[in-house]
Amino acid sequence: MSASPASGEEMVRVRLHEVAHARTGDKGNRLNVSLFPYDPQAWPLLAEQVTEARVLERYRHRGASAVRRHDLPRLPGFNFVIDDVLEGGVNGSLNLDGHGKSLSFLLLTLEVEVPARLALHPDRTVGQASVEK
Amino acid sequence: MSGDTVYIGCGAGFAGDRFDAAGPVVRTLARRDGPRYLIFEVLAERTLAIAQRLRREDPEAGYSPFLDDYVRPVLADCVANRIRIVSNFGAANPLGAARRIQAIAAELGIENLKVGVVEGDDLLGIMSADEVRALPTVEGLPLAGVDLVAANAYLGARPVAAALALGADVVAVGRCTDVALTLGPLIHEFGWAEDDWDRLAAGTVAGHLLECGAQVTGSYFADPGYKDVPALARVGFPIGEIGRDGSVVITKAEDTGGMVSERTVKEQILYEVHDPSAYLTPDVVLDLTGVEVRQVGPDRVAVIGAAGHPRPPTLKATVSLDGGWLGEAEMSYAGPNALARAELAVEVLRERFATLGVNSPVRYDIIGVMSTFDGDGAPLRKAAAPSPDGDYRVRVAVRSLDRKVAERVTNEVLALYCCGPAGGGGQRQSITSQIQTASVLVDRDRVRPRVALA
């Protein structure tokens, strides 16, 4: 797996949703968000850009106090464990989504910079999404 | 060779899952040759706490309220095809569940059904409430000075295997790990030793992938245009094919919708996992860091590379506490200037709750601007620039140990009909009893599972 894009390659800035998929699970007041690039070649780029600090920032308004990223290069994927983000967990939260089931899509709003060839995964059936150059 | 592969289908992945999902699973299993099992995972933390309350009121109650819905449609076919059923539908009363299953069997004309029960997960049956409160807490609220609704240890797969060894056609468990519903049959069929960590890990991965039903076959996954799933409305439930050597293939019921792909399996592998190198269960510590997935056929994905480490000396137990009441109420505003009318409704409610002396924290959402992602103080909504016109829905939520507080809050939303902004409509409200939970650790030697035929 090559971590760096070929020199001179066109880079585009896209939402993570364009290049990766995610799922959340909850236990108590702790959330895990798994993240998988559609194209395994994008894994090193995501490893560089989807840092614990950026993820913490994206969830801080929900009370997130810490983020730990576990790398799984063989799947390939990542597992983010986010503390205190569920405002008390499913049994204590006042949020509509006390489980945090929808919060994978909040992670997918982060922007990343990737080579244009990785910005549209091959199985996609929707047209080209808004891609900022 | 038959016997070297065990087929385990899942018929439900949570309490309240579809009642008709198991049918296609059973029909598919009936066409397979070898040991076959149907599991139902129907016991959430909250479900068990409610079941404990019900049992206290009626000694025959306290098993899953959905037992009949899940078992009755498939029991005759399972018995006719020698498909054994394993489920945690025993909840707070596995013996009661067994008696109910025997009654269903009698009504269906099924003779000589053997129902196994696994008990012993109830900590309050073996120690005092004070002893439970003194156990080390690993998650959730402190337990000092609170009343306990229930305290149940997560049993592992060994007692499930023991019940199968007694010849049970159906096994009713209370609180066990969801994985144990799968790993128990595998230990029974293959005789995996207590320290055969890598095979136990493989069986644990299989169980983890099966326990949430359709979450591995395209549900909780479909994202149109990005992750398309065929015939989601007819999504098929999963079947695991597990080999004596620890090989695992995940597939699904025939003649159903949904899909099993590397992507659906990857998402479910990490579902509710924290540290992937150490997923603790009573039977083995699972290490997922070397796991890979391979599409080996249509709707067939092999999972390889799970590693196991020695099981922990303690069991996790869930302690349930009274969580009081959750009150929620909503009112819609639509059309020209709807956002301003919704915001005015929120202001009116704030002032009224102050006047009425509501001291519990109240959350205010405007659904349609930003609600699901938002924090309790609505920081995202305040930063958003929504359209003044639209279709907005005010929502308030409150928790209180006093039901009257929840009523006071929800009634004020109702009162917006006549005392709120113009054009408020579609009011709904609900007040539901709540359970709070904490997780504690208990020495595994204190917990003695009891296995018997009922």
In percent, the amount of chain B with pLDDT more than 90 equals: 92
Please tell me whether the peptide bond between B298 and the residue prior to it is cis, using omega within 30 degrees of 0: no
Q: Is residue B280 part of a domain?
A: yes
Q: Are B421 and B325 within one domain?
A: yes
* Number of domains composing chain A: 1
Inside any domain, residue B145: no
A1 — pLDDT class (breaks 50, 70, 90): very low
B140–A contact, CB cutoff 8 A: yes
- Residue B28 within any structural domain of the chain: yes
The per-residue pLDDT for A27 is 80
**Interface contact B263-A126, CB threshold 8 A:** no
Tell me which of B312, B346, B379 is where a domain ends: B312
CATH code of the domain covering residue A55: 3.30.70
Q: Is A84 on the interface with B (CB under 8 A)?
A: no
Pairwise CA distance, residues A34 & A78, whole Å: 6
- Interface residue B395 vs chain A (CB under 8 A): yes
Residues B343 and B416 in one domain: yes
B446: in domain? no
> What single letter denotes the amino acid at residue B11?
G
Q: In the structure, what pLDDT confidence band is assigned to residue B140 with cuts at 50, 70 and 90?
A: confident
- Residue B163 inside a domain? The answer is yes
Same domain, B262 and B409: no
Residue B165: give the domain boundaries.
5-120+155-312
Hey, are the CB atoms on A91 and B363 less than 8 Å from each other?
no
> E strands within B122-237?
137-140, 148-153, 170-173
Instruction: Mark whether B91 and B214 lie in a shared domain.
Output: yes
CA-based nearest distance A5→chain B, Å: 24
Structural domain contains residue B249: yes
Phi, psi of A4 (to 5 degrees): -105, 140
**B219 → chain A, closest CA residue:** A23
ipTM of the complex: 0.95
Q: Which of B286, B312, B338 is the last residue of a domain?
A: B312
Q: Do B308 and B231 belong to one domain?
A: yes
Domain limit, last residue, from B269, B289, B312: B312
CB contact under 8 A, B375 and A30: no
Q: Does B436 touch chain A (CB under 8 A)?
A: yes
Q: Is A129 at the interface with chain B, CB within 8 A?
A: no
Name residues 101-120 of chain A within 8 A of B (Cβ). 101-103, 106
Q: What is the CATH number of the domain that holds B376?
A: 3.30.70.1120
**Domain-embedded: residue B142:** no
Q: Say yes or no for a CB contact (<8 Å) between A23 and B140.
A: no
Does residue B206 share a domain with residue B166?
yes
Task: Give the CA distances from residue B110 to residues B86, B107, B436, in Å, rounded to whole numbers and listed in that order.
Answer: 18, 8, 41
Q: What is the mean pLDDT of residues B372-386?
A: 91
- Position B89 confidence tier, pLDDT thresholds 50, 70, 90: very high
How large is the angle between the packed helices B197-210 and B180-190, nearest 10 degrees? 140
Asked if the Cβ–Cβ distance from B373 to A91 is below 8 Å, we say: no
| CA pair distance B87, B406, nearest whole angstrom | 36
Same structural domain, B249 and B162:
yes
**B192 in the same domain as B115:** yes
Q: Kindly list the residues from chain B whose CB atom is less than 8 angstroms away from the CB atom of residue A123.
A: 228
Residue A119 covered by a domain: no
The pLDDT of residue A122 is: 60
pLDDT of residue A26: 86
- In one-letter notation, the amino acid at residue B443 is D
Does the beta-carbon distance from B323 to A91 stay under 8 Å?
yes
B320, B339, B242, B59: which is closest to A28 by C-alpha? B320
Predicted confidence (pLDDT) at residue B249 exceeds the cutoff of 70: yes
Contacts of B227 in chain A (CB under 8 A): 21
Identify which of A30, A70, A91 has the shortest CB distance to residue B276: A70
At A70, the pLDDT band (50, 70, 90 cuts) reads very high
Residue of B177, B211, B217, B226 best to disrupt the A interface, most CBs of A under 10 A: B226
From B377, B435, B432, select the one nearest B407 (Cα to Cα): B432
Domain count, chain B: 2
